[in-house]
Structure 1
Amino acid sequence: MKISINQAPKHEGQKVTIGCWLLQKRGSGKIQFLQLRDGTGFMQGIVVKENDESLFETAKGLNQETSMYITGTIKADDRSSFGYEMEVEDIEIIHESHGYPITPKNHGAEFLMDNRHLWLRSKKQHAVMNIRNQIIKSTYDYFFDNGYKKIDPPILTSSSPEGTTELFHTKYFDEDAYLSQSGQLYAEAAAMAHGKVFSFGPTFRAEKSKTRRHLIEFWMIEPEMAFYKHEDSLEVQEQYVEYLVTQVLEHCKLDLERLDRDTTALERIKAPFPRITYTDAIELLKEKGFEDIEWGDDFGAPHETEIANHFDKPVFIINYPKEIKSFYMEENPEDPRTVLCADLIAPEGYGEVIGGSERIHDYDTLKQRIEESGLNLDAYEWYLELRKYGSVPHSGFGLGLERTVAWLSGVQHVRETAPFPRLLNRLYP
């Protein structure tokens, strides 16, 4: 019977066959311990010399990453986190590996990134990708279960959703086009048709940043909701993030353990989340020793970390100055200098994971903001038209997948959270 490693608990005491690779091995003159992987998990296989000397010699000669069919009996093993192992009775080599470059020793980051196509096979990278996969699954579950429809905005666009110059330019036949920075504007159009929608796709930022929080290509989850005010949107964000955390804790226990993730920090992530206004955050930073920061300045990573450290779970920074936020954000009626927006700052130094706002729903106001921002009015005519035919208050937000994976898995650099990350100096492999 052929099974996968993750099915082993259902086959205790049975003889089975597993297609797998050799991750590592160790042993003595009498026994070989084979660390096996098959994509679904990791398990130890044991080969005892006195049981079958020929099989023992085969096991002893195996090289790292050799592929094989391995047959044996599944046994309980309380010493391993997986809880099961195999008493090996037969090994059928499929392909013998020689000179695998990533050996069981420390390697530099650049070497590992050059070999990303192979580094993905390691236990820790496997765990990170499992957590990423769970976040993706849980995202679909959350939004579908709560009445949202998925829409797919175009990746090629004629203008910038954010109104910035950090765009990748290309030719679209005889027109100029850009790789999308965000699906938000298109999601707004879809929300006017379907009420509650979300998009989930790749976005691109031509930002020459080398920080541990930045990628050139990354994935965004962007819900947009008709008839939702800013406060309504904040509640959705809290519920969604809490759901992601609980699902990862429930379904990725072995992965979190493999990454040495302190889960007590994640177990505290329960809604509602604390909130602090931008203005109060400036005062807090001044009290913490950031004397140079002034009202109107944007926050950098040290500022976000300091604010997050003041709380024991994610914190919303709300109502940023109008001048440092995007043109489409609704003005704050209690302070016209600011807009109805929020950034959700993750604890433990992981920075902003969500940015959101209530959108301007008045035609004349939005038109004025587009003109004040120096944008091409013709390029945004379709977006303006959403305010001409039954406009309603609406809100939305964007969650960065890779930053969220980094936070929940506890890895220090966002490059480990994408299968093949695109960085300022990296387009290979």
Structure 2
Amino acid sequence: MSQLSNFVFAPALPEIGRYFEISAGRSQMLMSVFLSGYASVQIVVGPLADRFGRRPVLIGGIALLAVGAVTAAVAQIVAGVFVGIFILSVGAGVLPTVGQAMIRDSRDAQATLMILARLGTALALASALTPIIGTSLVGTLGWRGLFAVLAAVVLALGPFAFVSPETLTPPVEQDKTRPHLAVTLESYRIALSQRRLVLYATMIGCLTGALTIFFIGAPFLFMHKLKVSVHTYGILAFIAFLPFIIGSIAVRVSLRRQWLSLHANILVGCGLAVIGAATGWLTSVLEPSVTLILLAAGTFTFGLGMAVVVGRSAALSEATRDIATSSALVTFLMTVLAAAISATAGVIETIEHAPIFSLMLVSALIGFAAAFAGNSIARAAAAT
């Protein structure tokens, strides 16, 4: 549900811009608002889930997601859409952090790695389908209809949260004898001391930010510059994201057959992401075409699938306590980076081919450097 809400409204950005008569850059800032809310909730969701349990926090996140979607659907001014998107993003930010903590609660580290890898493939498929879903809904129901359908889906799935088991056992009673702020700060201090957590969160944030740049710029690039229809754009976006699914499957096979270590797989994925972004940047000196853009984007998303799907497992590999807090910190760091990168795209109005891939290349290079450092730390730890 969280993954669906991330990109499903991206195809509606041009429609929202035309409806409220705002610039492309300002309509793209809706994605930055989403990422900002998604990141900000991580400051509290991890400690809350570690203190009071996973289930009540999960229920609260679903409720906020529904309220945000309804608010955006009925907004009469553009500020209302911004408010709705922010509320929606806060709810969406709760779900993956709590969900992954619930997996870690009930499985050992190796089992968690494989479950998250399989989950990553499913999320990749959801991400690939969201542009098609979004464009279909916008084309038939308009942008308000898109948010209305999102709200209906959230409400339909809400009962599952009420019947989900509580996995935080036993409750952390000892923390309740100390001031909550002190417990929270101590948890974050411990999490921040884990260098691999910070480095791999940086890697995920940079690559996710680069992907966000593509998906907020792609509707304008394909529909405005290359003059494709909204339905055709949905198909092209699916084709561009399909290699992500293949990459996520490839990394699972590599890990299961032990061809490469977890950290080496991530490094290879980051390298492919850099190659894809660089290919896109090189094509910017030519007249952009659908084929060249899809080739560059496909190479990038294949590498992204290899790196990001298992990146969180690498980031949490040193975590032994306060799992939800550590998971929330990873999400916070990566989302802040992604929001900053997408905000940069919004400010310069990346509706052209060159700016999209230039920003993607810079982000991918930083992500590769972070993964390289994380791999070096892992190798040094294995050698001792």
Same fold? TM cut 0.5: no
TM-score range, shorter chain: under 0.3
- TM (norm. structure 2) is 0.25
TM superposition score normalised by structure 1? 0.23
Greater Rg over alpha carbons, structure? 1
Whose RCO is larger (CA < 8 A, sep 6+)?
A: 2
Whose strand proportion is higher, 1 or 2? 1
